[in-house]
A and B are shown apart, each in its own frame.
Chain A
Amino acid sequence: MRIAYIAVILFLVTLGSVVFNFTTPFHFDAIGSNWELIDITVYITFIVCGVAFVALGLLMAWWVYKFQYQEGKFAEYEPENAKLESQLTIITTIGVVVMLAPGLVAWNDYINPPSDAYELEVYSKQWNWMYRFPGADGIFGAAHNKYVDLDNPFGMKPGDPYGEDDILITDKTVKIPVDRPVKVLLRSQDVLHDFWVPAIRAKMDAVPGMVTYFWFEPIVERVYEVLCAELCGRNHFNMRGEMHVVSMNEYSTWLNDQVTWAGMQAGAVPLSPEAALGRDIANDAGCFACHSTDGTQRDTGPTWLDIWDGTVELDDGTTRVRDEAYIVKSILDPHAEIVLGYTTTMTTSELTDEELQSILDYMKGLKSAPAKQETTDENESENAEPSSEVDSTTIPGEDPSTN
């Protein structure tokens, strides 16, 4: 009898898959949240499906090997076997129930946050994450995309008393306390996004026009990278954030340093007309989707704060002085010189000379605040940027997380 190579291949492929499964380092990493039930359900599914896969694969290989063609031989004539078919149906149904039941139990937990969970809002936009805590009153102020502008990045409803003490974080980093369940509320300013930390296991899309949610309880103090899991345009892969799970003390201290909505409004220093114009033009051109103006380092593009000073290292290893010629070239021909560590997705802008000049005027004014913010109230009005708003504002010491 000829060797049926395909029988050998089917055998090896089945066996190889099993070996790969047990030797690969690529399995769920250590869980960082309460969602062990998810891991258990995955484990059960692995067992049920793994047994089925091995049984079917080996059976196929064996029978292909065993029942090879022989001239003149007739196959067994058995059109159907009702008993066998109903037995197989029952076995399969049992397997399905074994997998589905724990899954549905876990899902029931997943969609019902515990009553003691505190709320954190993640507000997403192309291409960064922003965060809001409800503040001292424990209640979020109303917010809507229609209220969003450069001085109201969260779209807070003007005059809503619940909103005044909301704590607004425009930095990409959020800190949350360990061992406290958190209900994450998701809003989007523009397109679909998805707030995801792999080790937490949980995720949900942010959908503009509605508020979605999920919940989890972090159990390990550490720093996590936040990913966007729903395609959100050409910079989707760069939409990263950070989530620090910290002790309650560290969390409270950090939260007290953040600006409230009331503080943000009070701290806003008017821009000169030229700089304001430049800021509007840059905003319309979409610049702030990738470039921060407060020094926040994002993967999407270099911050504009202090961009007019010093030198920068390019990805071809050379160093470049950041003068006007460099900045103009970077705006008009963004792919010519790329700063080390970035992947440019910038599109060329159609700007008139006047518009370009306005943006340059605005950028020139973006300088780090002097160390002592309160003492210098000079005429550098272009200096007023979110960073100085944050720095110049202190908030009352209430801790919203202590009930």
Chain B
Amino acid sequence: MATVEVPYQETVPLHHPKTWIGKYIFSQDHKIIAVQYGITAMAVGLVALILSEFMRLQIAFPEAGFMAFFTADHYYQAITMHGMIMVIYLLTAFLLGAFGNFCVPLMCGARDMVFPFVNMLSYWVYLLSVIILMISYFVPGGPTGAGWTLYPPQTITQGTPGVDWGIATMLISLAVFIVAFTMGGLNYITTILQARTRGLTLMRMPLTVWGIFIATFLGLIAFPALFVSAVMMLLDKFLKTSFFMPAIVSLGSKLEYSGGQPLLFQHLFWFFGHPEVYIVALPAFGVISDLISVHARKNIFGYRMMVWAIVAIGALSLIVWAHHMYVAGMHPSFGFFFATTTLIIAVPTALKVYNWILTLWRANIRITVPMLFALAFVLTFIVGGITGLFLGNVIIDIPLSDTYFVVAHFHMVMGVSPILAIFGGIYHWYPKLTGRMLNDTIGRIHFYFTFIGTYAIYFPMHYLGFIGVPRRYYETGISEFYPVAAHNLNKFITIAALIVGVSQILFIFNLVHSYFKGKKAPANPWGANSLEWCTPETPPRHGNWEDRLPTVHRWAYDFGVPGEEKDHIPQTVPRRKAS
């Protein structure tokens, strides 16, 4: 037997906060910080949701009187803010900031993050970035309308809304967010590597932690590329450098730029932007793996394969970025390389899907609300994944790029899927976080509206791309590529989007109502094995564990072990001597 080390955090004293502000506002407790991240991300996500409803109304009812105020500038500002908020300030912040903070120390059997003060700072800097982003709506000219990809030269030339102030607030906000992410990310990695409790080897970690671990690595590699592009673009905008700006004549005026290269920005942006997809997807993969296993009462199928798939996907995701640039005018030979790497990534990704579904085989499936979201995630992700096989294959991307096929694809794979994972995770961990259960009936109604609604929005939307409906059109006008039937489909999609949007009130109501009136939660309501369900108290106090940190004896997926009394064995239960 290996020598049992004393975990680092067991040797250092824990200082409990003495004031209310220290406990709940400037808190260094990872669980409070997770809640702060979560609430902020959801609040800013609501802004993005409302913006998307305005966009949908404009697309479906451009002539309607109540949309008269919504100009082309408003539309382009809305698509930009919606995209950036969803990708960065909601999904990244929620999956890593909220789930990362909540799950990593608890699932690793640690008292807290390794650097609690830096962790607190991470949240407050994130909040600052959100505030700067929201200030965009109050500066002259409003937020930037350059599209969330912020492609120069358009981003900083007249002819684009928000070119004077909005672009500055956007870029500064991104830079500040990256500072926040770096502080959080270093914490997650260090905690996972250094503060796992005794017995918790890497290959015993729950897949949620694996997903967060690799996603954070990707973030620390990818975000600096966004950071430098934001800095260079600020320099181009305000100091008239020419990193991204060639000699151009903008709306009749010759600008002072010369010699810059717009494609340089695109490479930097997607060097960040593609791993970003997996920064969001890998934690979602992890969460879904755990939800399916726990609620199906069966071990996750092929755990080691799942771990290596996460690692392989993470590594491959760093060398596929230019598949976003097939029509950008880069060297045509790149197409061969990036199409090949992109389709290779489909193999480990498909294996994950197979393993989720194989976990259901001969399982003992409890159809709880978290399980509903997990199942919906798998189907949604299949659609998003296979449409990625269309777009990743360079020649198919040629007719489909910049159409609604792309919009539908990335919303399926990187909008709806991770949000279903977030919902599933919230329904799953809320009892541990608050000590109360969420209302089951409201949860189910919320689920069906969300799943069927979003599917009704995005599945048919793919087909608009085939007939050539371009994305980012404020108005289309009935024409050859946009027949009346397509417009009717758009009306249907908008109505579905409104229903999905309104149904989220159920979720918010459930969160608030159950916090005060919800059924008291037992310590381990789902019968799960991972360490967060083994805390001495529910909700866990500051420091999570009593004097002694837990000891891990097994992986987190011992469900339905033959010959055992119960259908699950927590990680803290010692293994029986081999007989």
The answer to whether B560 touches A196, judged by C-beta atoms less than 8 angstroms apart, is no
The answer to whether B161 touches A234, judged by C-beta atoms less than 8 angstroms apart, is yes
Whether, in the assembled complex, A332 has its beta carbon less than 8 Å from a beta carbon of chain B, the answer is: no
The answer to whether A286 touches B339, judged by C-beta atoms less than 8 angstroms apart, is no
Is chain A's interface secondary structure helix, strand, loop, or mixed overall?
A: mixed
Binds B, one of A50-58, A323-331, A382-390: A50-58
Whether, in the assembled complex, B130 has its beta carbon less than 8 Å from a beta carbon of chain A, the answer is: no
Which residues from chain B contact A377 at a C-beta distance below 8 Å? none
Whether, in the assembled complex, B274 has its beta carbon less than 8 Å from a beta carbon of chain A, the answer is: no
The answer to whether B393 touches A45, judged by C-beta atoms less than 8 angstroms apart, is yes
Which residues from chain A contact B382 at a C-beta distance below 8 Å? 52-53, 56-57
Give the docked Cα–Cα distance between A286 and B379 (Å).
49
Whether, in the assembled complex, B336 has its beta carbon less than 8 Å from a beta carbon of chain A, the answer is: yes
Give the docked Cα–Cα distance between A263 and B476 (Å).
37
* Chain A residues numbered 62-90 whose CB sits less than 8 Å from any CB in chain B: 63-64, 67-70, 73-81, 84-85, 88-89
Whether, in the assembled complex, B305 has its beta carbon less than 8 Å from a beta carbon of chain A, the answer is: yes
Whether, in the assembled complex, A96 has its beta carbon less than 8 Å from a beta carbon of chain B, the answer is: yes
Whether, in the assembled complex, A205 has its beta carbon less than 8 Å from a beta carbon of chain B, the answer is: yes
Within the complex, the shortest CB–CB distance from B293 to chain A, in Å, comes to 10
Within the complex, the shortest CB–CB distance from A154 to chain B, in Å, comes to 11
Give the docked Cα–Cα distance between A106 and B562 (Å).
54
The answer to whether A186 touches B396, judged by C-beta atoms less than 8 angstroms apart, is no
Binds B, one of A143-151, A304-312, A356-364: A143-151
Contact of A209 among B151, B157, B262, B463 (CB under 8 A): B262
The answer to whether B262 touches A192, judged by C-beta atoms less than 8 angstroms apart, is yes
Within the complex, the shortest CB–CB distance from A239 to chain B, in Å, comes to 10
Whether, in the assembled complex, A343 has its beta carbon less than 8 Å from a beta carbon of chain B, the answer is: yes
Whether, in the assembled complex, B442 has its beta carbon less than 8 Å from a beta carbon of chain A, the answer is: no
The answer to whether A63 touches B399, judged by C-beta atoms less than 8 angstroms apart, is no
CB-defined interface of B155-171 with A at 8 Å, one 1/0 digit per residue?
A: 00111110000000000
Give the number of residues in A that approach B within 8 Å (Cβ atoms).
113
Binding site for A on B (CB under 8 A): 71-73, 76, 145-147, 151, 153-154, 157-161, 246-254, 258-263, 296-299, 301-305, 327-329, 332-333, 335-336, 339-340, 343-344, 346-347, 350-351, 353-355, 357-358, 360-367, 372, 375-376, 378-379, 382-383, 386-387, 389-390, 393-396, 398-399, 401-403, 448, 451-452, 455, 459-460, 463-464, 466-468, 470, 472-477, 479-481, 485-486, 489, 557, 559-562, 567
The answer to whether B297 touches A75, judged by C-beta atoms less than 8 angstroms apart, is yes
Most buried by B among A144, A199, A282: A199
Which residues from chain B contact A35 at a C-beta distance below 8 Å? 399
Whether, in the assembled complex, A288 has its beta carbon less than 8 Å from a beta carbon of chain B, the answer is: yes
Give the docked Cα–Cα distance between A144 and B259 (Å).
12
Within the complex, the shortest CB–CB distance from A51 to chain B, in Å, comes to 10
Most buried by B among A9, A146, A189, A231: A231
Within the complex, the shortest CB–CB distance from B442 to chain A, in Å, comes to 16
Whether, in the assembled complex, A259 has its beta carbon less than 8 Å from a beta carbon of chain B, the answer is: no
Which residues from chain A contact B362 at a C-beta distance below 8 Å? 67, 75-76
Binds B, one of A25-33, A243-251, A368-376, A392-400: A25-33
Known pairs A10-B375, A67-B362; A286 contacts B251 (CB<8 A): yes
The answer to whether A234 touches B347, judged by C-beta atoms less than 8 angstroms apart, is no
Nearest B residue (CB) for A109: B395
The answer to whether B375 touches A60, judged by C-beta atoms less than 8 angstroms apart, is yes
